[in-house]
Amino acid sequence: MANWCSNTVVFEGKPEVIEQIQKLFKLMAEQELKENGGQLPDFISEDNGGYFFATYQYEGDTDVFQYETKWSPNIEVVQKIAEHYKVDFIQDYEELGCLIYGRATFADKLLTDIYLEDEDFEKYQFDQETDTYHFEGKKYDSEWEILETLLEQKIANH
């Protein structure tokens, strides 16, 4: 059974193009319900993998899409969508069971993928007795703030 990677992608482009992407994602979500399986846009070869599962949007969001993939993010597939519609994107992804946490950015036809590596995850510790995380001399109730801090540091140093 696959571990599920959570993905959030924000497309950036002309409103009428974002509307087309919104229709694409809505269609894929409907097809997933009918077929009970992951989806790809019809202009992307099934050989690529990177299927979209559990695709959804919060009401009112037009350019933010959330979905899951098996094991790892589907950055290459999202890039193909962006290239097809001539838009940019920012994709945040995480699957902590496999120590995957990062952000891919596609702008001006250039893809940048910055992610945490094993040594980044070793920079903080979990204290079972106090049920807290310790990072840079501070206590945290959750590791999410730490992970975001570590990723932001990597992005700033890139």
Average of per-residue pLDDT across 50-66: 90
Domain boundaries of the chain, sorted by first residue: 4-116, 117-157
In CATH, the number for domain 4-116 is: 3.30.70.1270
Tell me: pLDDT of 139 over 90.
Answer: yes
Instruction: Give the span between the Cα atoms of 152 and 133, in whole angstroms.
Output: 18
Which three-class secondary structure state does DSSP give residue 10? strand
Buried b (16+ CB within 10 A) or exposed e, 95-126: beeeebbbbbbbeeeeeeeebbeeebeeebee
Q: Could you report the per-residue pLDDT of 80-131, keeping only the tens digit for each?
A: 999 999 999 999 999 999 999 999 999 999 999 999 999 999 999 999 999 9
Helical segments of 68-138, H only: 75-85, 118-121
Residue from 62, 74, 81 nearest 7 by CA: 74
Contacts with 98 (C-beta within 8 Å, 6 or more apart), sequence order: 3, 5, 71, 72
